[in-house]
C-alpha cells in the first residue's frame, strides 16, 4: 500500500486498555495495533506519523474504552490486506455482536469450513484491525479465553468492558448467548 493511499498514523491513548496505533486512509482505518508501553515505533514505517487521530475515529474508540455502548466494528475500514480466507474470517468476526462471543468452532462453521479451527486462530493472529475486527470475541470450546495478540489480560478487560463475565481465564457458563 503506498503512502498516497494511507494518509497518516497516530498513537491513540485508550486509558486502562493501553495505547493503539491507528493508520487511516481516505477510505477508512487501515491498521489498528496495540502499542507496547515501551514501543514508540509505529507499525507502518513508511507512513507519516501525526500527533492526533481524527475525531471521527478517535472519539468513538475513546468512548468505547470508557465503557459507552459503542461497537468499533461500525467504524469505516479500508481493508485491502489479507488472503481471501482471512478476509472471510474477519467478515465473520464482525458479525459477532458486542457482549457476545463465539468459539473457534462456531466461526469455522460460520464460514462453511468446519475443519478450519486452527486456521481461524491464525487469521485472528493476522488481524490488522484490533477492535474493529473483534477477534477478542472468539474463545476456546471450553469457554477459555484462548490467545490474543494484545495479551490475555487485555482480552479479559475488553470482554468485561462489553459486559461479558470472566472468571480468571474462563467465561462463566450460561451468561452469554452463543450463536453456535
Active site residues: 135
Orientation angle between helical segments 84-93 and 117-125, nearest 10 degrees:
90
Distance CA 88, CA 85 (A): 5
Matching residue, cell 494511507? 6
Distance CA 43, CA 109 (A): 32
E strand or H helix that includes residue 167: strand 166-167
Matching residue, cell 507519516? 48
Confirm if 9 and 42 have CB atoms less than 8 A apart: yes
Confirm if 128 and 33 have CB atoms less than 8 A apart: yes
SS3 43: coil
Amino acid at each position: 500500500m503506498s503512502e498516497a493511499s494511507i494518509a497518516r498514523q497516530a498513537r491513540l491513548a485508550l486509558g486502562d486498555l493501553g495505547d493503539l496505533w491507528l493508520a487511516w486512509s481516505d477510505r477508512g482505518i487501515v491498521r489498528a495495533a496495540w502499542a507496547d508501553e515501551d514501543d514508540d515505533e509505529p507499525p507502518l514505517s513508511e507512513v507519516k506519523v501525526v500527533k492526533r487521530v481524527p475525531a471521527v475515529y478517535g472519539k468513538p474508540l475513546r468512548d468505547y474504552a470508557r465503557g459507552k455502548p459503542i461497537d468499533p466494528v461500525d467504524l469505516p475500514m479500508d481493508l485491502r490486506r489479507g488472503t481471501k480466507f482471512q478476509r472471510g474470517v474477519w467478515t465473520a468476526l464482525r458479525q459477532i455482536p458486542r457482549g457476545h462471543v463465539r468459539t473457534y468452532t462456531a466461526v469455522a462453521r460460520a464460514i462453511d469450513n468446519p475443519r478450519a479451527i486452527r486456521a481461524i486462530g491464525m487469521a485472528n493472529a493476522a488481524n490488522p484491525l484490533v477492535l474493529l475486527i473483534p477477534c477478542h470475541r472468539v474463545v476456546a470450546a471450553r469457554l477459555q479465553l484462548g490467545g490474543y495478540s494484545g495479551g490475555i489480560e487485555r482480552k479479559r478487560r475488553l470482554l468485561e468492558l462489553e459486559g461479558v463475565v470472566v472468571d480468571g481465564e474462563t467465561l462463566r457458563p450460561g451468561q452469554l448467548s452463543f450463536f453456535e
